[in-house]
Amino acid sequence: MIVHIINVVFQVLILLVIVDALLSFFLATYHPFRRLLDRLVDPMLDPIRRIVPPIQGIDFSPLILIALLELISYFLIAIINSLG
């Protein structure tokens, strides 16, 4: 049960990161939906952006965040499975 909840939470976070990255190409930064997504996703992206700046104008921080979320989810689930 807890493993399922962790899996769902991390999949929702990953989906939010993907939608935010895609909408950044189509919606203006002042669009209400884009601002809502930015408020949810930017606190996770900002520390990565400080370490890995855009390379030739391409922001790789969403890709790095998705990889980190997958790793954290994998390790949390592995720890929980090893306990029970």
Please answer whether residues 72 and 9 qualify as being in contact, where contact means their C-beta atoms are separated by less than 8 angstroms.
Answer: no
| First-to-final CA distance of the chain | 12
Give me the pLDDT at residue 84, please. 74
CA dist., res. 8 & res. 14, Å (int): 10
Give me the pLDDT at residue 55, please. 93
Helices 61-83 and 32-51 pack at an angle, to 10 degrees, of: 80
Tens digit of pLDDT per residue, the chain (84 long)? 999 999 999 999 999 999 999 999 999 999 999 999 999 999 999 999 999 999 999 999 999 999 999 999 999 999 999 997
How many Å separate Cα 54 from the centre of its chain? Answer: 17
